[in-house]
Structure 1
Amino acid sequence: MTNVAQVIQNKIEQNIFTISPESTVLEAISLMADKGIGALVVTDQDKVVGILSERDYTRKVILMERTSKETTVSEIMTAKVLTVTKSNSVEDCLDLMTDRHLRHLPVVENDKLIGLISIGDLVKVVMEDQRKLIDQLQQYIAS
């Protein structure tokens, strides 16, 4: 069974973009737009203290009529961040993401951020595992 360590090791591009809780929401949204990503891990001295997604922005800035220039990341981030470790299985992560309606999971080791996995990363791994199993079964049947 594939685990998180294998997922982050096999990711072609493993750039983890972070932002501080004191940054403005405008800075965060600008960084997300520039990098083409939908979420940022909020860190304070390398420790994960939150996560900020486009969903947080739309629900906690736009709908509440706040301004991006004056609102800080800490005011709208999701502070109760669920994290995983390298030893978690892909299945465990998918279950967690499905149950909690999450799209991203920070990967931590010794309280330090070492990766970020998305639902898309996990779906790719599951599809590849299934492809390998099908190939093995076809070879078995053919021999």
Structure 2
Amino acid sequence: MKLESIIQKDFIKISIPSERALAIETMKKNNVSELIALKEGTDSFLGILTIGDILSKPEEEQLALVLRREVPVINKKGSIEDALKLFLSGDFYYLPVVDNENVIGIISLKDILPVINKKYKINKKISELIDSNYFMSVWDKTPTYIASKIMLNFKVSFLGAFDESGKFVGILDTSDLIKSGEIISRVTESDATKGESGDDWDWNWKSSVLIGTSNFYLSNKPVLNYIKEGFSTITQNMTISETIEILQKDNTRYLAIIENKDTLIGILRDIDILKAFKCVI
């Protein structure tokens, strides 16, 4: 199968320059946590903007100073293996596809996983991926704002949530943070005062400048209000191929590995499963 067959020509994007309020509104509306950033009026690729990038610089209004520019792109004539190699070089969900330096579409992890799986059937079991599978977790009564700080400080895209009895109850990721937040616009007045004096005269003037800002406020409600409760589960005895089929069927990015009916022993993301195919590149 050629790369062109899995390119999404219709994708969510944002023009630069733009302000963060527009980016967050676009993410909330489309239930995504990453946007492809293009130069205004063109299809020229500038980078990828994530909600984590925005939250890490809460005072920065201009997206051009926030977005992630060191992101690989792939030519439309590239191979499936080329795309796999680029996905494994970082930790992102979208891979922009270019032609003559213009973005013509994107490929997502969701697009490439079943194609790679069909081409390279791997007999590995999930148990072989668990040893290096670590994740951060929080109490399900933790304020969502605090949970976001944990995600930013430890540079993770999701958290496992547990109740007071230690039972795993769901997953909170960056898209849930967007849903929990609220954009509040306000106008502030800035004063500038100047005075000069001379032998025969002096004068003063005062100027007021109105500055409009939009701030994104995360909820202080418990993460329990926003976590993904309908998570998909697998066992460590399942094969990689079986796991990919579940990801596709349930349309999810996360799989909870359960043992003895309700004991959580790990959480796998789509990119974690893609790493099982390192051997083919």
TM surpasses 0.5:
yes
Q: 1:25 to 1:97 in 2, by over 3 A?
A: same
Please list, as runs of the form range in 1=range in 2, the aligned pairs for 1:103-114 lying within 5 A after superposition: 103-114=93-104
Check the 8 A contact 1:85/1:107 in 2, yes or no.
Answer: yes
What's the counterpart of residue 3 of structure 1? 2
What's the counterpart of residue 134 of structure 1? none
What's the counterpart of residue 141 of structure 1? none
Select the residue among 75, 79, 89 that pairs with 1:99.
89
Residue-by-residue CA offset, 1:66-119 (whole Å, 9 max, x unaligned): 24xx61111110122311012212222122211222321110101111101111
Alignment partners' CA distance in 1, 2:33 and 2:110: 12
Residue 20 (str. 1) matches residue 10 (str. 2)? no
What's the counterpart of residue 53 of structure 1? 50
Structure 2, unaligned runs of 5 or more: 122-281
> Which residue identity is paired with 1:51?
I
Residue 36 (str. 1) matches residue 31 (str. 2)? yes
Alignment partners' CA distance in 2, 1:71 and 1:124: 39
Check the 8 A contact 1:20/1:73 in 2, yes or no.
Answer: no
Alignment partners' CA distance in 2, 1:16 and 1:119: 14
Check the 8 A contact 1:84/1:108 in 2, yes or no.
Answer: yes
Please list, as runs of the form range in 1=range in 2, the aligned pairs for 1:119-130 lying within 5 A after superposition: 119-129=109-119
Moved over 4 A (4+): none
What's the counterpart of residue 69 of structure 2? 79
Alignment partners' CA distance in 2, 1:21 and 1:43: 6
Identity of counterpart residues, as a percentage?
Answer: 27
Q: Give the SS at the match of 2:23.
A: helix
Q: Give the SS at the match of 1:50.
A: strand
Alignment partners' CA distance in 2, 1:55 and 1:121: 23
| Larger fraction in helix | 1
Check the 8 A contact 1:108/1:115 in 2, yes or no.
Answer: yes
Check the 8 A contact 1:4/1:85 in 2, yes or no.
Answer: no
Residue-by-residue CA offset, 1:23-82 (whole Å, 9 max, x unaligned): 111211110111122221111122111211233233x23xxxx24xx6111111012231
CA RMSD in angstroms, aligned pairs only: 2.0
Instruction: After TM superposition, give the deviation of residue 19 of structure 1 in Å.
Output: 1.1
What's the counterpart of residue 137 of structure 2? none
